Structure formats: C-alpha cells, structure tokens
Amino acid sequence: MEQPKRVLCIMDLSVVGRAAASSALPVLAACGVQACCLPTALFSTHTGGFGPVEKQDLAPFAAAALRQWQREGITFDAVLLGYLCSAAQFSLAEAAFAQYPAALKLADPAMADGGKLYGGLPKNAVARWRRLCRMADIITPNHTEAALLAGADPAVPPPDAAARAARLEALSAQGQTVVVTGIPAPNGGMAVLARSKADGTFPTPVQAVPQSYPGAGDAFTAALLGRLLRGDALPAAIETAVRFIAAAAAATYAGGGEPRHGLWLEPFLPMLSS
C-alpha cells in the first residue's frame, strides 16, 4: 500500500454547519487522502442562514504554522484554498502556494453566488482571487464567481454555449484547468462546465433539487480533488463528485433537511472510496 496523499486545506472552520473545512475534511478522508486543515478563521456557524456569528481570525497562527512546517521540511501533495475573508488570509494563501511549488494547487474562489458578492470581504477580494487563480493549477468557481474573475457583470449570464466556452477559455489562458459549477442548463436543470488542456471543454449534467445548500460547493471541490489525487482523469473525477453531491442533495431534500445545516453528506461518503 502506498502512503496516502496529503492535502493542505486553507479555509475557515465552522463548528456547526457543513461548509468549508467541516465539509472538505471528511470528504477528502473518504477519498483516501490525508486532509490537513490550516484554519484561516474559526466560526461558531457558517454564515449561510444563521444569526450573528462568533468568529476569530486565525491568520497569525496560520502564518506561524507555515513557518514551522518549512523548518520541519513538511510537504504536501496538494494545496486547497477555500473561503478567505481578510487581507492577511489572502497573503497567507499566496505564501502557501509559493512555499509548495510542486504541490497541485486548487483555488476555489468562494466569494459570491446568485449574482452578487458575499458580505464581509475585503474591498479588493476579486483582484486578490484573480491573482491566486493565476497561481493555481485548477480553479472551481461557480458561475457568478467565474463572471467576476473574467471581469464580466455577474448578473448577466452568457447568452449561449459559445459565450460560456469563451469565458472558460479566457479563465484558462495560463493553462489552468477550469471547472465552473451551478450553470443553468437549457432543460431547466444544472450543469458543470469544465475545460482542460487534455480534455478540451465539456459539460457534465447535474440532477438538481429545487433547494440550495450552503457548503455544497466546498464538498464538490473536495470530492473532485480527492478523486484526482486517487488517479482519476478529470471527466471521471467530476462525474463522481457530481453523483456524490446529487445523491446527498436528493436525500436531504426528500428528508426535509434544514438547508442552513447543509447537505447530509455522511451516508454517501462511501461513494467516494470505491
């Protein structure tokens, strides 16, 4: 048996609610990957649907941890970036990418949805995410975030498939693999649209439910990365991640799960280990 791959997850930790590290860590573990969490901030709950949140910025601790790992010669096979909510956290993410040049770098620019930016972000968050995405090997924006990264109006969707493909091509101009989630499909469903050097541009249909769940994107991205590290090609990794999220969403919706607590991921984690 080979040593499991090791992933550095740079994102917030919400104690309650399946989002950010609370979703990514068990998903990566289910893929057979060692997930090492470097929390950028500690939240009592995630910010999607709960009342006022108690939080603590952990950027100084995280920066010190990076320095200690450098002294110890600790390395990672991949670095995964999630939600960042302060200038110091963006600087930390850039430092981590620079410290591990050989690692597979995945940036999930968690900054917007539904045509608008999240609250509580630095004023230059879009510019900082653009910089990080240029440093990454893979980026996984939703369709709102893809528009912001491309300098387009996020409230105005691309008029057709050709325009969506052109946006992906622009986002992958430096060779990045781009995976855009939450794209409305012509039949009223949803799709993931991806582009890579090896596979070109291709869609993956999603069996969606009429309810959104905070943290679903975090779980998808972790599943995608975990399957890639297991050796899956990009289309297969996306398909597995999509099936995993769709199964959890269908069960959560049918069971009346409270949306703000996120998807019922736990019963479906075995789907990622087969």
In eight-state DSSP terms, residue 18 is S
Whether pLDDT at 184 is above 90: no
What's the confidence (pLDDT) of residue 164? 84
Coil, helix or strand at residue 16: strand
Whether pLDDT at 119 is above 90: no
In a domain, residue 174? The reply is yes
What's the confidence (pLDDT) of residue 228? 98
**How long is the chain?**
274
Question: Per the structure, how many domains does the chain have?
Answer: 1
Q: What CATH number has the domain bearing residue 140? A: 3.40.1190.20
* Average pLDDT over every residue of 119-126: 92
Question: Tokens 């959104």, residue?
Answer: 212
Whether pLDDT at 247 is above 90: yes
In a domain, residue 272? The reply is no
Question: Tokens 């050097």, residue?
Answer: 197
* Average pLDDT over every residue of 14-21: 95
What's the confidence (pLDDT) of residue 105? 98
Whether pLDDT at 24 is above 90: yes
In a domain, residue 1? The reply is no
CA distance 66 to 46: 25
The band of 156, judged by pLDDT with boundaries at 50, 70 and 90, is confident
In a domain, residue 136? The reply is yes
Copy the structure tokens of residue 257: 């799960």
In a domain, residue 41? The reply is yes
The band of 165, judged by pLDDT with boundaries at 50, 70 and 90, is confident
Q: Which residues pair with 109 in a beta bridge?
A: none
In a domain, residue 274? The reply is no
Copy the structure tokens of residue 2: 């080979």
Average pLDDT of the chain? 94
Give the other-Cβ count within 10 Å of 169's Cβ. Answer: 12
In a domain, residue 43? The reply is yes
What's the confidence (pLDDT) of residue 1? 84
CA distance 169 to 178: 9
In a domain, residue 81? The reply is yes
Copy the structure tokens of residue 29: 């573990």
Query: Is residue 260 within 8 Å of 49, Cβ to Cβ?
Result: yes
Domain hosting residue 56, numbered range: 6-267
Alpha helices in 110-233, H assignment, sequence order: 125-135, 143-149, 161-171, 216-229
Whether pLDDT at 5 is above 80: yes
